[in-house]
Chains A and B, each alone.
Chain A
Amino acid sequence: MSTSHASPRETTEGTVYTVTGGDWDEVVESAARTDDERIVVNMGPQHPSTHGVLRLILEIDGETVTEARCGIGYLHTGIEKNLEYRTWTQGTTFVTRMDYLTPFFNETAYCLAVEKLLGIEDQVPDRASIIRVLLMELNRLSSHLVCIATGGMELGATTIMIYGFRDRELILDIYELITGLRMNHAYIRPGGLAQDLPPGAVDQIREFVKKMRKNLPEYDKLATGNPIFKARMQDVGYLDLAGCMALGATGPILRSTGLPHDLRKAQPYCGYETYDFDIPTADTCDSYGRFLIRLEEMRQSLRIVEQCLDRLQPGPVMVEDKKIAWPAQLALGPDGLGNSLDHIKQIMGTSMEALIHHFKLVTEGFRVPPGQAYTAVESPKGELGVHVVSDGGTRPYRVHFRDPSFTNLQAMAAMCEGGQVADVIVAVASIDPVMGGVDR
């Protein structure tokens, strides 16, 4: 045997070469020896350029992709099924893990659906809605930063990757201060929030906005006018309006065709109609347009964050209905666990009814009247829809997430077929799929 890493193997479908890196010359050489020009390349599911465990199956002719298909499901964790075995409140701890780069959008969409089923949308306190908007817009920033950072890295632009993750880190610090966690927060709950903002949060966010306003132009300087960057992005991953409509693509992909469709404006939720912001669009239908849109959306998000901070008034962050609201204003105890000491004092010391009530609410949960609801929020990737069915019990009967990554990823074939192999990476990066959301 030779030392070749690309050992050919005969199958009924043709010769299969197993490639492990650094041996492309040998593969090309031995492929050239056969008279069949058609090569099927399997990329992933562990390739660093495929955004997690995405598997791309490309049929190539020379450098041209003739057919492209996705293999997904490698990160399927059965979250929708699991939700049927937890209470409505526990649900947030699961949905936050779906698209792990947009946890606050998952939580908000789910909670809005549960609140719609309960019929308590109007009772959610203003402060809770403002904090939801605040966190969602910070989340939009952190999601777009990862998209631009990893997208840059996949082009070989490692500086933009460092910049993106540097700025995202500032946002993760804010999350950690507010929710205690950098990811998987379960902070937004049916009826409001798990607890109020901690002291110092507003100041830290203001500090961040100031810093981010200074940092954002760096992306422009580094990438927007960069001829290499533009040459790699422009006219790559083309999908026009008709294609978007047919394939159900939403978010920056849809807005890159010039249609300013954004659910925050079209079907406002959480009071978005009262905020002042613009919907950026492009008319290039390509990856570069989507990059510009994401960059501009980050500026708009900063605007909304500032408006949220100006509006914050002291008040409750949970509905008043004690049948739904978990009595919690947690403080960090000496054991490192969060507890509400005043509340414990009340239920353990003075009111047995409150203790029973607390026990029932936490172990049994609340009941949700039978019926179904659909709510949608504009996540950084597009329309994040939640279809929730209740049978009147303390657990969801069925929860389905229409994740934008899942739907948008279908457009991969339309964007890539007929293009160059190298452009597949750019097109996929411009879709910004997150496999946690695709596979759920």
Chain B
Amino acid sequence: MSDANGKGAPGSEGANPEKDLSAQNLPGQRGQGGEEVRVQRGMFGANNGGDTSGYGGLVRSVRLPGPAARPYGGWFDEVADELEGALEEQDLLPANAIEKTVVDRGELTFHIEREHLVRVAKTLRDDPALRFELCTGVSGVHYPNDKGRELHAVYHLRSITHNRVIRLEVSAPDSDPHIPSLFEVYPTNDWHERETYDFFGIVFDGHPALTRIMMPDDWQGFPQRKDYPLGGIPVEYKGAQIPAPDQRRSYS
């Protein structure tokens, strides 16, 4: 197959940019490092025997980039050192607060244990060497198959002083969807946390008025969770029935 050729004999047929099969040009590989969040079976979204394409037996594990090892490169080490030092000063073992550190695509992510989130955020904001003054809100992500860590809250912090951006990621299980609120540290998260609560059902403990913000007050369910259907009706176009978007054939 062309895969083997491309990998086995690079340059033997001359550089062909269309056959650049270096690792970064390939989709997530099975058995590679990283964090498995889901196992994908088959293709086309069919799981009731309707898929006669032969792709039904395909098994692909979905892996997000895993923890990075030192050195992280650039200013990442400086920020990580400062943060760890500042936490130690507060008698908090960095390993207890920082679950893991991920460096991917030039971005630095700290996965924080939820009970220490507020302390870490306050340190990041106040420490002169860190000084992440601006929080750009929270984005929820739902990984229904990542057992025990289904709900993620992702924060991006910007330091205008040092001109840096980092990401904090916090997870909570579906059965106990509580994450401490950052409202006290970053008041801008008021509406952002209400939005994430509204769409994902993450309860931000300590938020002064955690109510729905986009959906009507009496709405049932949390619309941006993966198990919440998109909805829609089939549409007729030039005589053919086009199914609703979430009923269409999917390739991933």
Contacts and interface: CB of A to CB of B under 8 A. Distances in A.
B189 to A, nearest CB: 8
Contact of B27 (A267, A369, A400): A369
Interface residues of A, number: 56
Interface string B1-30: 000000000000000011000001111100
Interface in A72-89: 72-73, 76, 78, 80-82, 84-86
B251 A72 contact: no
A406 interface: yes
Nearest to B43: A364
Interface in A380-424: 383, 385, 387, 389, 391-395, 397-398, 400, 402, 406-407, 409-410
A322 B214 contact: no
B39 to A, nearest CB: 11
Contacts of A393: 40, 250-252
Nearest to A250: B134
Contacts of B90: none
Contacts of B27: 367-370, 392
A241 to B, nearest CB: 10
Interface stretch (A332-340, A342-350, A371-379): A371-379
A407 B191 contact: yes
A248 B186 contact: yes
Contact of B252 (A72, A371, A391): A391
B223 A372 contact: no
Contacts of B188: 246-249, 407, 410
A116 interface: yes
A37 interface: no
B176 interface: no
B156 A387 contact: yes
Interface string B122-165: 00000000000111110111100000000000101010100101
B62 A392 contact: yes
A260 to B, nearest CB: 10
Contact of A81 (B62, B186, B216, B223): B223
B2 to A, nearest CB: 13
Contacts of B88: none
Contact of B187 (A78, A246, A368, A387): A246
B105 A373 contact: yes
14 contacts: A81-B230, A248-B136, A365-B251, A385-B136, A387-B156, A389-B141, A394-B251, A394-B252, A397-B141, A400-B139, A406-B191, A407-B137, A409-B191, A439-B214
Given A72-B214, A81-B230, A266-B160, 11 more contacts: A84-B230, A85-B248, A119-B24, A247-B188, A248-B186, A369-B27, A371-B65, A373-B105, A374-B107, A391-B38, A410-B188
Interface of B: 17-18, 24-28, 34, 37-38, 40, 60, 62-65, 104-107, 109, 133-137, 139-142, 154, 156, 158, 160, 163, 165, 167, 186-192, 195, 199, 212-216, 223-224, 230, 245-246, 248, 250-252
Q: Which 5 A-B pairs have the closest CB atoms?
A: A393-B252, A248-B188, A400-B139, A392-B28, A73-B214
